[in-house]
Chains A and B, each alone.
Chain A
Amino acid sequence: MSYLTSGSTTGLAIRRMSATKEPVLDIKDQEQLGILVDISSCTGCKACEVACIQWHDLNPPIATEEELRENGFSYQSAPDLAANLFMLMKYQEAETDRGWTWFITKRQCMHCDDPGCLTACPSPGAIVQYANGVVDFDQSKCIGCGMCRTGCPFDIPRYDANDHPFKCNFCLDRVGNGLVPACAKACPTNALHFGTRADMVELGHKVVAGLKDRGFPNAALYDSAGVGGAGYVYALPHGDKVEHYGDLPKDPAISSLVHLWKGPLKWIGGAAILGSIAAMFMHLVTAGPKTVEAHGKEE
């Protein structure tokens, strides 16, 4: 995997950056991108998951039986998201008004309008939000403090052996060149729709209305209001059971602690950066450079 995300090579306009005065650019210059996940048409085939792995040249390991038991054995391919697994299909089951129901959900970074990771990040420019709404990491500026995961209401970023975070970047290199994100491209059943966020929200409302007509009275659009909306929008057949959709938070919002940390207590953050840089330096001096652990070795 590449440390410098290709987003920075496509010349995309940046809307805002972590620990930097904002906005860098007026959002109105560019339409926000979106993906609608129509859960009612998703068969859970994992084509999106495989396409994501392939496009980003990830090489996640084959999970052991023990690992698959960790979070409850299901059709899920790995125990959790990982630095080399940007999206994961989740499979949960529960009773609903229509009987026993299989909840199959694609989970990955939501690309929030108000990204908790970016808000929490203390390193200038390490997290960027492009004008098209995509949130991405710039590994060259990351200090490995782990605050992005703390700040994320969806608990998405995962860290490699160097404590660098990884997640879905909305296939910035593809969308920046007029291509559909790999997951949406691979979807065989038209469950993933790609377009502008505004269009996806509109289409999502249509899907939900259709579901209500088809006997899903609790169908709802999941649009992450607490973070100002997100690039990913979900049409849920059972809007009253949000938590069964791959542990989606019911009311996603950035923790008040994060706001506190980046607001009145910002100086602590600054001190923390200095502290961590000092610690890194001491570590380098005393232990030598860290070697990257090989991931996903062939069995």
Chain B
Amino acid sequence: MTNGWMDIQNADLVLVMGGNPAEAHPCGFKWAIKARQKKGAKIVVVDPRLNRTAAVADKHVAIRCGSDLAFMGGVINYVLQNKKYQEAYVKAFTNAPFIVKDTYSFDSATGLFSGYDPKARKYDQSLWGYEMDENKMAKQDPTLSDPRCAFQLTKKHYERYTPELVEKVCGVKKEEFLEVAKMIGETGAPDKAMTHLYALGWTEHSFGTQLIGSMAVLQLLLGNIGVPGGQIGALRGHGNVQGTTDLGALTAALPGYLKAPKAEHKTLQQYLDAFTPKANRESSMNYWGNTPKFFVSLMKAWWGDAATKENEFAYDYLPKYETPKAYNAILDDMYNGKMEGLFVLGANILTSSPNANKSAIGMSKLKWMVNLDLFPIDTAYFWKTSKDLDPAKIQTECFLLPGLGFAEKDGTFVNSGRTIKWRYKGPDAQGECRDEKWVFSQLYLRLKALYQKEGGPFPDPILKLTWNYKNPGSPSADEILQEMNGFAVENLVDDKGNVVVKKGDRLSTFGQLKDDGTTSCGMWIYGGVYPPSGNRSAAVGTEDPSGLGVFPNYAFSWPANRRILYNRASADASGKPWSEKKKYLWWNEGTKSWVGHDVPDIGPTLPPATGPFIMNAEGVGRLFAPALVEGPFPEYYEPYESPIANVLHPANPTNPVVKVYKSDHDVLGTPDKFPYVALTYRVTEHYHFYTKFLKGPARAFPHMFIEMPVELAKEKGIANGDRVRVSSARGSLEAMAMVTRRMKPLTCDGKTVYQVGIPIHWGFQGLAKGGLVNLLTPFVWDPNALTPEFKGFLVNVEKATGGAA
């Protein structure tokens, strides 16, 4: 989230699209309800289903699952054509005036951008940059009239997305679309803001990143970023999934969103050159320009005294990758017999990965598999997935280690709003249950002993790893948080030679980090969470001086305890608040500094001309975003399995850079055999694939079911509560049918489209049993974020033979 949960209460409009927070984030959704109860905000839901968020919304419009990009393109076009954008904000704080190189083009007939290589299924992204002047700064047209400026290109790109197109693609009546577009457009006023909430309903598409990109374009046009009540709210799915991504549990990333080195980066300098951006606009802070400080401090945290200037701070100790191995590649490699072992924790990957048959076959080819979990999860019993898997013939040696739940250990949670919150251990561990810190420390110490005893081709990274914990076999969470916060390796001195931080003392902010090896920091974005004064994540101050839900002394939000990112954008180009109502951070001419209700997201004394989007080399937000692999503008593509042709460019209906897998188990269905659009989702009674092991939640929603339209049920002779068989090109399962008018048939491109909703929570293990939903889903992944396409695939539904009447 660019702001946070509590800031939702400042919104004038809460748009829920690509999420179902009332069900998936029931506690956080209270802030949306509060925005309405206290401030009269409107809640609008755009979703295929009348779900429980829609049930309490002021307005719900149903669209076809997978048509969201067309809807978003339509809203962007509406805002541009009707001049609903916040012009001063767009001119000052976005790349709208930037002139784009003439090697960039878009062909609306094919739906392809310039530089596409159909064989490699890749774009040459270097064609999409800005035109630069002699100082290597991007050329600009402040009047926004140059046909090659990003603003005009945006306008041109989206002019095809008319209300008529939206109706044709999404199945929403033009009038209904315009009603929603109008409500959204009204938040372009300087004293209004829209909060957008989304979760997996947007990410789980083969164009998920582009969907979020389209919202970034829209929110920038409306001036809704960096202001109270204006945000893009990515609602994270697990209690600490934000923390795990922060820590680098991502493809090709190191802690704190530093890039992992590639094989081609043979020296530290090559690595730093590749990943330290240079400002391309005057007075851009270009905060990633500090990458060397963050990276070298990380190496000092990992290898301490062994990381020296002479050995490039142990750069050689880091593994380098040729092709990034994300989740998709791991599953595919496993299926192709290219993996020996798999260690699974914090996930029930058999149930949560697409095409479960493929995953189970992959697991049957492993030599060993370890699951560390609280429950006997399905993954640990993968051979039960299919009758075709004979446990007598499977050689995979399986271990199930009893883990600890969050309440049984100290540590932190990082929530969607980036707030790091310390929590204390409740009950003691039972039996031989162990937390992962113990498990991995034991594993490390044993590996180290083996290296010490037997040597090996390259033992240094293991032998010299920093492991300064009081109890090396079981470090405490407190020690690890201090390590992430960072400390001074040597005395740190200021310009005048005064010691600012004494050797060995903890740092107060990541602003103190150095690239010369004199600081150590395991996680630069968490810098300041554990200053010399103590653990700020454990702070529980409940004061809210501004009344805007900032609570600056409650826990610690990274970065730098900042609650609203890009908050400098809450004031205009001269530093004055856009409106009294949304006053948040402003320039004090007297003190020549930024003041307000939050930690400034800008150098506190840098002049107002400095751009607010300090993490971009431009210093401004991007309407034209050349970093995404399928193009600088989000373009409407259909899901990989779709009941209709792409209305704009039938020759290239789907995301052209998606990797296509071609094994026996990677089959796609066609609408003649699988005519209905399916989407998977969660219900509030359950938490992923875990609560099915507990009686309380299992009782609250005990049986797997699907939701289907009354009209489809009638055609198929299915009554409410009947058992039905749902099948896709990849597999099938049985469930109870909930026949409901909440699933409306839609008319898309002249065709009646029925949608079938499939909640995910069941499996063959636990108290609440049911089919594995991911037997049905396709092995198709968003090429930027590598998230599977769980929303918008094709199925058939039949009454189950022998099912209840």
| Minimum CB distance partner of B698 in chain A | A62
Q: Which residues of the partner chain A approach B738 to less than 8 Å between Cβ atoms?
A: 73-74
**Would A65 and B768 count as touching, CB distance under 8 A?**
no
Q: A53-B696, A66-B804 are in contact. Are A46 and B684 (CB under 8 A)?
A: yes
| Minimum CB distance partner of B60 in chain A | A99
1/0 per residue A180-198: CB within 8 Å of B? 0000000011110000000
Asked if B210 lies at the interface with its beta carbon under 8 angstroms from chain A, I say no
Q: Which residues of the partner chain B approach A100 to less than 8 Å between Cβ atoms?
A: 50, 741-742, 744
**Bound: A68/B36 CA distance, A:** 35
Q: Which residues of the partner chain B approach A45 to less than 8 Å between Cβ atoms?
A: 22-23, 26, 52, 684-685
**Would B37 and A190 count as touching, CB distance under 8 A?**
yes
| Minimum CB distance partner of A213 in chain B | B40
Q: A45-B22, A61-B699, A189-B30 are in contact. Are A214 and B50 (CB under 8 A)?
A: no
**Bound: A65/B804 CA distance, A:** 9
Asked if A42 lies at the interface with its beta carbon under 8 angstroms from chain B, I say yes
**Would A46 and B56 count as touching, CB distance under 8 A?**
no
Asked if B695 lies at the interface with its beta carbon under 8 angstroms from chain A, I say yes
Asked if A102 lies at the interface with its beta carbon under 8 angstroms from chain B, I say yes
Query: Can you list 17 contacts pairing A with B, beta carbon distance less than 8 Å?
Result: A44-B52, A45-B684, A50-B697, A62-B695, A62-B699, A65-B703, A65-B721, A65-B723, A66-B804, A73-B705, A75-B683, A77-B701, A100-B50, A102-B52, A102-B55, A188-B29, A189-B30
**Bound: A77/B30 CA distance, A:** 23
Which of B26, B56, B768 meets A62, CB within 8 Å? B768
Q: Which residues of the partner chain A approach B698 to less than 8 Å between Cβ atoms?
A: 62
Give residues 710-744 of B contacting A (CB, 8 Å): 720-721, 723, 736-738, 740-742, 744
**Would A189 and B33 count as touching, CB distance under 8 A?**
yes
Interface residues, chain B, with chain A CB atoms under 8 Å away: 22-23, 26-27, 29-30, 33-34, 36-37, 50, 52-56, 58, 683-685, 695-703, 705, 720-721, 723, 736-738, 740-742, 744, 767-768, 804
**Would B736 and A43 count as touching, CB distance under 8 A?**
no
| Minimum CB distance partner of A85 in chain B | B699
**Would B55 and A104 count as touching, CB distance under 8 A?**
yes
1/0 per residue A205-217: CB within 8 Å of B? 0000000001100
Asked if A227 lies at the interface with its beta carbon under 8 angstroms from chain B, I say no
Shortest Cβ distance from residue A238 to the other chain B in the assembled complex, whole angstroms: 12
Q: Which residues of the partner chain B approach A191 to less than 8 Å between Cβ atoms?
A: 33
**Bound: A189/B768 CA distance, A:** 27
Asked if A29 lies at the interface with its beta carbon under 8 angstroms from chain B, I say no
Q: Which residues of the partner chain B approach A43 to less than 8 Å between Cβ atoms?
A: 22-23, 26, 29, 52-53, 55-56, 684
**Would B700 and A73 count as touching, CB distance under 8 A?**
no
**Would B22 and A73 count as touching, CB distance under 8 A?**
no
Q: Which residues of the partner chain A approach B56 to less than 8 Å between Cβ atoms?
A: 40-43, 189
Asked if A54 lies at the interface with its beta carbon under 8 angstroms from chain B, I say yes
Give residues 70-104 of A contacting B (CB, 8 Å): 72-75, 77-78, 93, 100-102, 104
Q: Which residues of the partner chain A approach B22 to less than 8 Å between Cβ atoms?
A: 43, 45, 189
**Would A50 and B696 count as touching, CB distance under 8 A?**
yes
Shortest Cβ distance from residue A136 to the other chain B in the assembled complex, whole angstroms: 25
**Bound: A52/B34 CA distance, A:** 24
**Would A47 and B742 count as touching, CB distance under 8 A?**
no
Does more than half of chain A's interface fall in helix, strand or loop, or is it mixed? loop
Q: Which residues of the partner chain A approach B740 to less than 8 Å between Cβ atoms?
A: 93
In the complex, how many residues of chain A place their beta carbon closer than 8 angstroms to a beta carbon of chain B?
40
Q: A72-B720, A189-B29, A189-B30 are in contact. Are A44 and B55 (CB under 8 A)?
A: yes
**Would A104 and B52 count as touching, CB distance under 8 A?**
yes
Give residues 133-147 of A contacting B (CB, 8 Å): none
Asked if A69 lies at the interface with its beta carbon under 8 angstroms from chain B, I say yes
Q: Which residues of the partner chain B approach A46 to less than 8 Å between Cβ atoms?
A: 684-685, 700
Which of A49, A190, A215, A299 meets B33, CB within 8 Å? A190
Shortest Cβ distance from residue A214 to the other chain B in the assembled complex, whole angstroms: 6
Asked if A246 lies at the interface with its beta carbon under 8 angstroms from chain B, I say no
Q: Which residues of the partner chain A approach B33 to less than 8 Å between Cβ atoms?
A: 41, 189-191
Q: Which residues of the partner chain A approach B685 to less than 8 Å between Cβ atoms?
A: 45-46, 77
Q: Which residues of the partner chain B approach A61 to less than 8 Å between Cβ atoms?
A: 699
Shortest Cβ distance from residue A245 to the other chain B in the assembled complex, whole angstroms: 13
Shortest Cβ distance from residue A246 to the other chain B in the assembled complex, whole angstroms: 14
Cβ-closest 3 pairs across A and B: A73-B721, A43-B22, A69-B721
Which of A62, A69, A102, A190 meets B30, CB within 8 Å? A190
**Would A75 and B720 count as touching, CB distance under 8 A?**
no
**Would A102 and B720 count as touching, CB distance under 8 A?**
no
1/0 per residue A28-49: CB within 8 Å of B? 0000000000001111111101
Q: Which residues of the partner chain A approach B36 to less than 8 Å between Cβ atoms?
A: 41
Asked if A161 lies at the interface with its beta carbon under 8 angstroms from chain B, I say no
| Minimum CB distance partner of B703 in chain A | A65
Q: Which residues of the partner chain A approach B700 to less than 8 Å between Cβ atoms?
A: 46, 49-50, 77
Shortest Cβ distance from residue A69 to the other chain B in the assembled complex, whole angstroms: 4
| Minimum CB distance partner of B737 in chain A | A73
**Bound: A45/B50 CA distance, A:** 15
- Besides the contacts A44-B684, A100-B742, what 8 more A-B pairs have beta carbons closer than 8 Å? A45-B52, A50-B700, A62-B702, A68-B736, A69-B720, A69-B721, A73-B705, A189-B29
Shortest Cβ distance from residue A234 to the other chain B in the assembled complex, whole angstroms: 15
Q: Which residues of the partner chain A approach B23 to less than 8 Å between Cβ atoms?
A: 43, 45
**Bound: A45/B686 CA distance, A:** 10
Shortest Cβ distance from residue B263 to the other chain A in the assembled complex, whole angstroms: 49
